């Protein structure tokens, strides 16, 4: 089941990221890419955003990826993957540059953000998946 969950995550590239600080949750629509092992997800944001401030206070995150709008899917068949993980700052400029280049290839619409001097790469180390198929069929897996 873990491999199916990883494939589900790899096949998509848009999620809703949930961060929290001071007891106040915050959600953001985000584009993402994964590493090859599908154990890390990368996103980009600006340093002055609420999500980045929250991550500085509380590195624990959750994000939701779903298949709404997929061709031929009914609401009964909708699948949603909730992913939990931990934000880790990316300090290596070579690694950061490689991730930004991959993000630019996958998400050309983010060109302005990715080239912005205040842009930050969010590295999320994945910890668990919860796949919900329909309303009742749930599967939980730890990533590591």
CB 43 within 8 A of CB 31: yes
| Domains defined for the chain, CATH in brackets | 2-142 (2.30.110.10)
pLDDT, tens digit (0-9, with 9 covering 90-100), for 80-125:
999 999 999 998 999 999 999 999 999 999 999 999 999 999 999 9
pLDDT at 134 over 90: no
**Angle, alpha carbons 1-83-134 (nearest 5°):** 60
Q: What is the rounded distance in angstroms from the CA atom of residue 103 to the CA atom of residue 40?
A: 14
Q: What is the pTM of this model?
A: 0.92
N- to C-terminal Cα distance for the chain?
14
Using one digit for the tens of pLDDT, what is the confidence trace for 33-78?
999 999 999 999 999 999 999 999 999 999 999 987 666 666 667 8
Q: Cα–Cα distance between 10 and 88 in angstroms, integer?
A: 20
Whose structure tokens read 């302005």? 112
Nearest to 139 by CA among 82, 73, 55: 82
């Amino acid at each position: 089941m873990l491999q199916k969950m990883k494939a589900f995550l790899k096949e998509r590239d848009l999620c809703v990221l949930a961060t929290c600080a001071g007891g106040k949750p915050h959600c953001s629509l985000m584009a993402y890419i994964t590493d090859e092992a599908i154990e890390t997800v990368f996103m980009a944001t600006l340093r002055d955003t609420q999500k980045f401030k929250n991550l500085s206070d509380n590195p624990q995150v959750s994000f939701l990826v779903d298949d709404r709008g997929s061709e031929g899917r009914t609401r009964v068949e909708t699948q949603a993957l909730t992913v939990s993980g931990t934000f880790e700052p990316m300090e290596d400029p070579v690694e950061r540059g490689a991730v930004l280049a991959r993000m630019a290839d996958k998400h050309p619409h983010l060109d302005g953000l990715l080239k912005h001097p205040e842009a930050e790469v969010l590295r999320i180390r994945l910890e668990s998946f919860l796949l919900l198929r329909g309303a009742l069929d749930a599967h939980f897996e730890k990533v590591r």
